[in-house]
Chain A
């Protein structure tokens, strides 16, 4: 309901924000200032109903509705799309092993899968996609594999910068970036800077990240603020913690849906605070095999779920 008070209807003439490749700045950024400052786990931040219903009430709504639904596969309801989807991209190495290919091929196939999903998110009106690219725990993998992953990240960011700019995609990288090679750190900063004003879609890449790390670093920042007299420890509340979490870079910091591939039923230390009411979906296929059909299945399952938020 909070969004319905502050959300302005879309302009009549401008193309829809849901159309792929739209460069029209839409009104989502206005809602950033309207985010409730108190306990942020209230339904409005996670629910999709109010947000999308208003677009149908805007002028020219009927024409827009027909046009919009053509971009969605049968069965998916526009008004019930998750705003933020998170993915644990598991199974790249198993995929390579099962094909007698080197590990590198598994990760490269995984990167192709990611591009497909990003494209689908843009097409189907999902606003934010977070991907768990490299966990804090992954530093313990063999050095050769870690170096391979770092070089793949570098290459991926360099090669795809053009696509991010063209498709109006904002890229944010969260995690303990100080542990990354300096060249990669610089690349990340440049990419974030270059894409920071893009508004059609946000890709959050979690590298050297863990949910527990996120809470600890938020706590450290709050302790520092307390030291400098900016906040009293006793005044620390949920919204202050939210503001220090790395996902604060997003308009929609809490995933509505988390997908984990490769049939593993656990969260593996990804975004703990933010997943309080996230719907979890465990897909059997390995990440390089997770394509449109599987993604559709996950979204359809999400749309069947009844979200009660404890009520």
Chain B
């Protein structure tokens, strides 16, 4: 029986690799972002224990990461914890934070895996809002994988797009203020124009500045909204919202997302070249 399961596993893996080969003929997304929605609903449906609400979700995350990197997607971003999620009940927030520390420690132990595959881990968000254990664990993980350059895994934690934009606006005003005050004596209108803040001034201060804009944002559970995730960066990306809850997300959803991305890619590319 065990032998049968092994053979079945190998066949599935072979089939997946074949499908990836076929998909690779078309354009490939460089950056996929995930909003992992539906964990609580799944847990209610399965009557799971309180503590295991997000564990099933984490296991699906690992699988999707594997698909992304095997398929050659260089940048993967996940919405792990929004600033607005701090509003949730303290038990849930605490269990999420504990899970995060647990998983980060696990990653640090298996450091060789991330280093073997050349994956750099980044934690994007207002990390000062996190408790010290989580923040320190995050900083250690970033340091341990800082030299990796084949792929990037961004975990958005204590993140919200409006907070990201606000911080970037504040920083660019501070930067320009230094410049402007240096020229304020006898400053002309032309000086004012020359020192106006432009798009790139703001963009470079975004938490997500190190990654290109996502090509696909996938939100599970059928909710079609961004919930304050990558608002700035999603201006031209493909929004995909399968109705399956996050713990139900699998290979077929991944493939379907890629196929739809490829279908519209030619049109989007033409538009981008016009800009």
- A residues with CB within 8 A of B: 41, 137, 140-141, 210-212, 215-216, 218-220, 222-224, 226-227, 233-234, 236-238, 241, 264-269, 272-273, 275-282, 305, 309-311
Q: Does B109 contact A (CB under 8 A)?
A: no
B225 touches A279 (CB 8 A): yes
Contacts of A236 in B (CB 8 A): 166, 169-170, 173
B84 touches A309 (CB 8 A): yes
Contacts of A268 in B (CB 8 A): 235-236
Choose among A211, A222, A265, A280 the residue that contacts B235 (Cβ–Cβ < 8 A): A211
Choose among A41, A215, A305 the residue that contacts B202 (Cβ–Cβ < 8 A): A215
A215 touches B232 (CB 8 A): yes
Choose among A41, A212, A223, A264 the residue that contacts B199 (Cβ–Cβ < 8 A): A212
Choose among B180, B228, B260 the residue that contacts A41 (Cβ–Cβ < 8 A): B228
Nearest B residue to A244 by beta-carbon distance?
A: B169
Beyond contacts A265-B264, A273-B161: 8 other A-B pairs, Cβ-Cβ < 8 A, are A211-B231, A224-B192, A226-B177, A227-B184, A265-B240, A275-B231, A278-B225, A282-B239
**In the A-B complex, the 6 residue pairs with the closest CB atoms:** A310-B84, A269-B235, A233-B173, A233-B174, A276-B228, A272-B231
Contacts of B226 in A (CB 8 A): 275-276, 278, 280
Q: State in angstroms the CA–CA spacing of A13 and B268 once bound together.
A: 55
Nearest B residue to A306 by beta-carbon distance?
A: B223
> Which residues of B, 158-209, contact A by the 8 Å Cβ criterion?
160-162, 165-166, 169-170, 172-174, 176-177, 180-181, 184, 192, 196-199, 202
B265 CB, min distance to chain A CBs, angstroms: 12
Contacts of A275 in B (CB 8 A): 226, 231
Choose among A140, A141, A218, A227 the residue that contacts B180 (Cβ–Cβ < 8 A): A227
A45 CB, min distance to chain B CBs, angstroms: 13
Contacts of B147 in A (CB 8 A): none
A137 touches B227 (CB 8 A): no
Nearest A residue to B84 by beta-carbon distance?
A: A310
Residue in A211, A268, A310 with the greatest tally of chain B CB atoms within 10 Å = A310
> Which residues of B, 81-139, contact A by the 8 Å Cβ criterion?
82-85, 87-88
Given A265-B239, A267-B234, A227 contacting B177 (CB threshold 8 A)? yes
- 23 examples of A-B residue contacts, CB within 8 angstroms: A141-B274, A212-B199, A212-B235, A215-B165, A223-B180, A223-B196, A227-B180, A236-B170, A238-B162, A241-B166, A265-B238, A265-B240, A265-B260, A266-B236, A266-B268, A267-B234, A276-B161, A276-B162, A277-B225, A280-B239, A281-B224, A305-B225, A309-B227
Nearest B residue to A141 by beta-carbon distance?
A: B274
Nearest B residue to A269 by beta-carbon distance?
A: B235
Q: State in angstroms the CA–CA spacing of A277 and B162 once bound together.
A: 11
A18 CB, min distance to chain B CBs, angstroms: 26
A276 touches B231 (CB 8 A): yes
Contacts of A265 in B (CB 8 A): 238-240, 260, 264
Q: Does B4 contact A (CB under 8 A)?
A: no
Contacts of A282 in B (CB 8 A): 224, 239
B249 CB, min distance to chain A CBs, angstroms: 18
Q: State in angstroms the CA–CA spacing of A149 and B2 once bound together.
A: 68
B227 touches A223 (CB 8 A): no
B166 touches A237 (CB 8 A): yes
B224 touches A280 (CB 8 A): yes
> Which residues of B, 132-162, contact A by the 8 Å Cβ criterion?
160-162
Given A269-B235, A276-B231, A222 contacting B87 (CB threshold 8 A)? no
A140 touches B275 (CB 8 A): yes
Choose among B169, B177, B227 the residue that contacts A310 (Cβ–Cβ < 8 A): B227
Q: Does B23 contact A (CB under 8 A)?
A: no
B166 touches A264 (CB 8 A): no
Q: Does B252 contact A (CB under 8 A)?
A: no
A219 touches B275 (CB 8 A): no
Q: Does B237 contact A (CB under 8 A)?
A: yes
A301 CB, min distance to chain B CBs, angstroms: 9
B152 CB, min distance to chain A CBs, angstroms: 23
A310 touches B173 (CB 8 A): no
Q: Does B3 contact A (CB under 8 A)?
A: no
A283 CB, min distance to chain B CBs, angstroms: 12
Contacts of B264 in A (CB 8 A): 264-265
B207 CB, min distance to chain A CBs, angstroms: 15
B263 CB, min distance to chain A CBs, angstroms: 11
